[in-house]
Structure 1
Amino acid sequence: MHRRLVAEFLGTAVLVAVVVGSGIAAEQLSPNDVGLQLLENSTATVFGLTILILLFGPVSGAHFNPVVSAADWLLGRKAGTGLTGGDVGAYAIAQTLGAIVGAVLANVMFDIDIAELSGKDRTGSNLLVAEVVATAGLVALIFALARTGRGALAAPAVGAYIGAAYWFTSSTSFANPAVTVGRMFSDTFAGIDPSSVPGFIAAQVVGGLLGLALVRYLFPDIASVADDVVVPHATTHPSPPETADTRSTR
């Protein structure tokens, strides 16, 4: 379990460092073109998220998102698959701490004051609807891939979905409570004002429940694959392969 928590911490930290760091770089490189800033920010996020899922997925499943972890528990609790309630709490703490560290790390790399919270206001019912849509689609995609045996495609598919959602949602698709909290700690293009955070998180929870309801409807036996979210991962260490020496002792 400690390796899984470290993987979730590091994965979420680097993910937020990618999101915030590329946002800062985009703001500096293209100060007068917001569209180009978003293109630069989203492109870095697509590649960064894909790589992080490939790197940490075999250890923890590469959730990096409390909504995904909670959905995994909700789906698998009756079947005895997926995370336990205690696991979800531990994952969420690791993910949130990682997100904060990632934002601070990005600030340090770009020589930005680490003590200043974001002042970027993100309020409005349209943004909350966008977060519901973005999160519901993310949860539905992840569990549909697991149920249909296509977990190997999760890294590029999830990366592509988030990249697309940067553009088709007005909120630029945070879709993650831990990342939302982390992005409070950077007063930059990628930041979010603390007053906007509760609404975003509430919308993400609603979106997660809607995405969960959709996959339960489409795939009634979805609980059987809760252990394979986001990608299949080992929760115990497999036995080492037999050698000639071990066989000879039998």
Structure 2
Amino acid sequence: MRLRQKAAAELVGTAFLVATVIGSGIAASRLSAGNVGLQLLESSVATGAVLVALILALHPVSASFNPVVTVLERVLGTISTRTAAWLVVAQVAGGLLGAVVANLMFDLPAVTVSQHTRSGSGLWLGEVVATLGLVVVVFGTLRGADDSRVAYAVGGYIAAAYWFTSSTSFANPAVTVARTVTDTFAGIAPSSVPGFVLAQLLGGALGLGAVALLHPVRRIAPPARKAPS
């Protein structure tokens, strides 16, 4: 598969993912004003569903949509450093594009810097847990007997992690950066981004360790040579 195809898939997939996160948040806040719990439910269902659809559609090309996952793929040796770098650039660019489009779809300025501060040890721990779990789900499913189930596993996990993590599970540096340019339900203030991204990287590293422990790669031993007669 050519690098430009992989990068295009990551850009398109991340753009649609972020557009869904932000757009569903805006729609939910307008349709269910004053009911934050219902707003979160609406956004989590939309995000989980779009992840299933996007991964099913783009997995044959590239469907990480997440710099943490891409970096870990490089660590595991499944992609090259050059490929990983371009995919991360595409993910960040796609995320920003998706945020701008979501703002415009709801008649908001294309870019509005978020004022929603998200900071504190509880939220950072939530991001560590969210990203750790995501990595285990992604790579655990891919190393299982049927890797075609990864779309459903990831979509289901993210929908659930919206609720069981204190941070509502950003679990993605590209999505985190993109959410700084919308001052809406899903936004995050730029000053809060470094703490979130560091927590996500830590969660990714811990997740990689968990995957190595739970799903070690089994090397097939070469057939034994017969002794000469």
TM-score w.r.t. length of structure 2: 0.93
The one of 203, 209, 218 aligned to 2:199: 203
Q: Hey, what does 1:106 align to over in structure 2?
A: 102
Could you tell me which runs of 5 or more consecutive residues in structure 1 were left unpaired when the two chains were aligned: 77-81, 225-250
Whole-Å Cα distance in 2 between the matches of residues 222 and 202 of structure 1? 31
Paired residue secondary structure (2:137): helix
| Correspondence list, 1:53-72, <5 A | 53-60=55-62, 62-72=63-73
Whole-Å Cα distance in 2 between the matches of residues 113 and 13 of structure 1? 17
| Correspondence list, 1:133-148, <5 A | 133-148=129-144
Whole-Å Cα distance in 1 between the matches of residues 217 and 150 of structure 2? 19
Contact 1:135 1:208 in 2 (8 A): yes
The one of 84, 87, 103 aligned to 1:88: 84
Q: Hey, what does 2:226 align to over in structure 1?
A: none
- How big is the shift at 1:150? 2.1
| Correspondence list, 1:115-126, <5 A | 115-126=111-122
Contact 2:103 2:111 in 1 (8 A): no
Deviates more, 1:140-149 or 1:203-212: 140-149
Runs of 4+ in 1 over 2 A off after TM superposition: none
Could you tell me which runs of 5 or more consecutive residues in structure 2 were left unpaired when the two chains were aligned: 221-229
Please state if 1:37 is matched with 2:39.
Answer: yes
Whole-Å Cα distance in 2 between the matches of residues 104 and 115 of structure 1? 6
Change (3 A) 1:26 1:223: farther
Whole-Å Cα distance in 2 between the matches of residues 204 and 221 of structure 1? 24
The one-character-per-residue Cα deviations of 1:151-184 (angstroms, maximum 9, x if unpaired) are 1111111000000000000100000000000111
Contact 1:143 1:222 in 2 (8 A): no
Paired residue secondary structure (1:58): coil
Paired residue secondary structure (2:99): helix
Q: Hey, what does 1:248 align to over in structure 2?
A: none
Whole-Å Cα distance in 2 between the matches of residues 104 and 135 of structure 1? 25
Contact 1:16 1:179 in 2 (8 A): yes
- How big is the shift at 1:85? 1.0
TM-score w.r.t. length of structure 1: 0.85
Q: Hey, what does 1:190 align to over in structure 2?
A: 186
Whole-Å Cα distance in 2 between the matches of residues 105 and 196 of structure 1? 23
Paired residue secondary structure (2:98): helix
The one-character-per-residue Cα deviations of 1:106-156 (angstroms, maximum 9, x if unpaired) are 000001122321111101110000000000010011111111132111111
- How big is the shift at 1:220? 2.3
Contact 1:117 1:185 in 2 (8 A): yes
Change (3 A) 1:2 1:39: same
Paired residue secondary structure (2:60): helix
Q: Hey, what does 1:237 align to over in structure 2?
A: none
Whole-Å Cα distance in 1 between the matches of residues 35 and 160 of structure 2? 19
Whole-Å Cα distance in 2 between the matches of residues 12 and 222 of structure 1? 32
The one-character-per-residue Cα deviations of 1:187-229 (angstroms, maximum 9, x if unpaired) are 00001000000100000000000000011112221799xxxxx
- Count of paired positions: 218
The one-character-per-residue Cα deviations of 1:7-40 (angstroms, maximum 9, x if unpaired) are 0000000000000000000010111100000000
